[in-house]
């Protein structure tokens, strides 16, 4: 077992590894075999305050640091991850229950986001704007917002923490990171360790492992952070947005999806099946971009369905540490019960289970459901588990109507033999991101990432990071005597 779980089962505040002072512990379990990995005494509201104050103190000097010095730290962080990749991979498999393939996907993206972070210090470009007043110069500077609070999810924990933490730091901010209680090490303290070893000045990045039951809204109400970057459930995301609005903070939210994967009548069925299976079953379906609904034109429905079921039936279910495993455990038994309940409820209401998976501990075998009623509640919500919902349609108009009949619109996909036809249809789907002849699960460091409607607020990645984690400051200069009206 990785030494991370013994060495990093602590809070990281102001450059010091220290136990929390709360009255209870977060118990970190392996969701596959339920082995106890670590016990971490939670942080209190007082420690949240200490973390934010440390970030605030360290940030002012950091903001004045050369862009080249900042870049060097991210280069070293990347090398550390590359050097310890096998150990980091083992830790994520153990803590999250992610398969080897999923972890490889996660770490490759994490490295790409660090490479992008290296460039961000050089993108805080100012502008000089003209003025109607003679002798006046208008300068607009890009400055760090100050301190950013990051609340990261359990799925893709290492990547999702780095995705906000790295650009916020690169652009001159301090950060306080609260990882999910199910992944406190890989989503929290391990990230801090990487940056500590890379030479990040103490206090700039702080990790508090805690729970709302202990701290309430202290993390988002605190007066120091100017931006809260949150990834998680719709219910919690709405609460975060409400509290941020009340305290005049900027919230960036990614709160889930209900992606439609659309197969048109001229699609390459074999390619579509491969992409659909990846889109639905990556990380056991615990992915915000996962294809919840597979929409198939009736002209290819039978062929697609037969090939999809055969492909899903071939997936290996079991120990995520085995290289050949495709589907490992869900994060906890509560999620297992939720997924199994959705399948049972759907079948009771008339759906046909072409495959119906059972549960063995936290491992849930895949299910494929068809024959769902148009108003079935499962079609309107995010299913966080290995369940495919097959929905036939007649022609493009119906496909668009069905795809848009959900409040959660993060990602999507369209498969067709005519790329321009696919693009035209994709433009009509109300979603933040959509992919033609590919999977629904994509993230790249320089393209805007985010959803529409109830799937979140704002965008991350690339230039969007500069927009989110910096603010504009106008400084005017009057050369010569100013002219005033009185």
The CATH number of the domain holding residue 298 is: 3.40.309.10
In a domain, 445, yes or no: no
Pairing, β 291-297 against β 259-263: parallel
In a domain, 450, yes or no: no
Rounded Cα distance between 192 and 173, Å, is: 15
In a domain, 479, yes or no: no
Active site residue 254: yes
**Residues 371 and 237 occupy one common structural domain:** no
**Residues 270 and 186 occupy one common structural domain:** no
In a domain, 447, yes or no: no
Rounded Cα distance between 106 and 160, Å, is: 9
**Residues 244 and 275 occupy one common structural domain:** no
**Residues 230 and 270 occupy one common structural domain:** no
Q: Tell me the percentage of the chain whose pLDDT exceeds 70.
A: 100
**Residues 251 and 271 occupy one common structural domain:** no
Cα 283 off chain centre by = 13
| Residue 201 DSSP class | P
In a domain, 484, yes or no: no
pLDDT for position 482: 81
Whether residue 483 is predicted with pLDDT greater than 80 in this model: the reply is no
464-477 residue pLDDT tens: 999 999 999 999 99
Pairing, β 363-364 against β 412-415: unpaired
Q: DSSP 3-state assignment of 403?
A: helix
Q: In terms of Cα–Cα distance, which of 168, 136, 181, 143 is closest to 41?
A: 181
Task: Determine the average pLDDT of the residues in 196-207.
Answer: 98
Burial of 404 (0-12, 13-18, 19+ CB in 10 A): middle
Max CA pair span of the chain: 83
The residue annotated as part of the active site, out of 116, 214, 288, 382, is: 288
In a domain, 443, yes or no: no
Domain CATH number, residue 59 = 3.40.605.10
Range of the domain at 406: 259-436
pTM above 0.75, yes or no: yes
The neighbouring-strand residues paired with 364 are 359
**Into how many domains does the chain fold?**
2
Rounded Cα distance between 409 and 405, Å, is: 9
**Residues 250 and 369 occupy one common structural domain:** no
**Residues 245 and 308 occupy one common structural domain:** no
Active site residue 303: no
**Residues 263 and 246 occupy one common structural domain:** no
**Residues 231 and 117 occupy one common structural domain:** yes
Burial of 212 (0-12, 13-18, 19+ CB in 10 A): middle
**Residues 231 and 298 occupy one common structural domain:** no
Query: Which pLDDT band holds residue 486 (cuts at 50, 70, 90)?
Result: confident
**Residues 8 and 49 occupy one common structural domain:** yes
**Residues 328 and 236 occupy one common structural domain:** no
Query: Which pLDDT band holds residue 43 (cuts at 50, 70, 90)?
Result: very high
Residue with tokens 């730290």: 73
Question: Please, where are the H alpha helices in 230-372?
Answer: 234-246, 269-281, 301-313, 333-348
Rounded Cα distance between 406 and 205, Å, is: 38
- Cβ burial 148-168 (10 Å sphere, 16+ → b, else e): bbbbbbbbbbbbbbbbbbbbb
Cα 252 off chain centre by = 11
268-298 residue pLDDT tens: 999 999 999 999 999 999 999 999 999 999 9
Whether residue 419 is predicted with pLDDT greater than 60 in this model: the reply is yes
The residue annotated as part of the active site, out of 95, 116, 214, 254, is: 254
In a domain, 90, yes or no: yes
Q: Choose the weakest-confidence range: 245-249, 370-374, 482-486.
A: 482-486
In a domain, 43, yes or no: yes
pLDDT for position 117: 96
């Amino acid at each position: 077992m990785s030494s991370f779980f013994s060495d990093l089962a602590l809070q990281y505040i102001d450059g010091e590894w220290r136990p929390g002072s709360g009255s209870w512990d977060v118990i970190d379990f392996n969701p596959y075999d339920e082995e106890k990995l670590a016990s971490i005494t939670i942080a209190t509201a007082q420690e949240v305050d200490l973390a934010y104050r440390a970030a605030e103190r360290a940030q002012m000097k950091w903001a004045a640091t050369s862009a080249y010095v900042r870049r060097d730290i991210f280069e070293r962080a990347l090398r550390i991850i590359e050097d310890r990749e096998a150990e980091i991979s083992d830790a994520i498999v153990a803590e999250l229950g992610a398969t080897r393939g999923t972890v490889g996907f996660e770490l490759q993206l994490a490295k790409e986001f660090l490479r992008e972070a290296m460039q961000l210090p050089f993108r805080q470009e100012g502008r000089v704007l003209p003025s109607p007043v003679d002798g006046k110069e208008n300068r607009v500077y890009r400055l760090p917002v100050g301190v950013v609070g990051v609340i990261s999810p359990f799925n893709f924990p290492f990547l999702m923490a780095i995705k906000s933490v790295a650009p916020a730091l690169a652009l001159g901010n301090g950060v306080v990171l609260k990882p999910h209680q199910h992944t406190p090490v890989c989503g929290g303290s391990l990230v801090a360790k990487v940056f500590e070893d890379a030479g990040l000045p103490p206090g700039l990045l702080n990790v508090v492992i805690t729970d709302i039951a202990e701290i309430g809204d202290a993390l988002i109400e605190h007066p120091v952070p100017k931006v809260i970057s949150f990834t998680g459930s719709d219910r919690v995301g709405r609460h975060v947005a409400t509290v941020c609005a009340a305290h005049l903070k900027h919230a960036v939210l990614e709160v889930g999806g209900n992606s439609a994967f659309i197969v048109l009548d001229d699609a390459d069925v074999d390619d579509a099946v491969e992409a659909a299976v990846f889109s639905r079953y990556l990380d056991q379906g615990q992915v915000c971009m996962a294809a919840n609904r597979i929409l198939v034109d009736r002209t290819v429905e039978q062929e697609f369905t037969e090939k999809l079921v055969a492909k899903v039936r071939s997936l290996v279910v079991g120990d995520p540490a085995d290289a050949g495993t495709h589907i490992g455990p869900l994060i906890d038994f509560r999620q297992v019960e939720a997924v199994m309940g959705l399948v049972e409820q759907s079948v009771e209401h008339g759906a046909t289970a072409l495959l119906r998976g059972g549960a063995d501990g936290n491992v849930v075998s895949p299910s494929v459901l068809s024959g769902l009623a148009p108003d079935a509640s499962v079609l309107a919500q995010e299913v966080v588990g290995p369940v495919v919902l097959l929905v036939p349609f007649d022609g493009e108009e119906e496909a668009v109507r069905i795809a848009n009949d959900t409040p959660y619109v993060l990602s999507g996909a369209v498969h067709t033999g005519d790329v321009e036809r696919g693009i035209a249809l994709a433009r009509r789907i109300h979603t933040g991101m959509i992919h033609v002849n590919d999977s629904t699960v994509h993230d790249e460091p320089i393209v805007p990432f985010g959803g529409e409607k109830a799937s979140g607020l704002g965008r991350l990645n690339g230039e969007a990071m500069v927009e989110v984690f910096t603010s504009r400051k106008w400084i005017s200069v009057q050369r010569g005597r100013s002219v005033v009206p009185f």
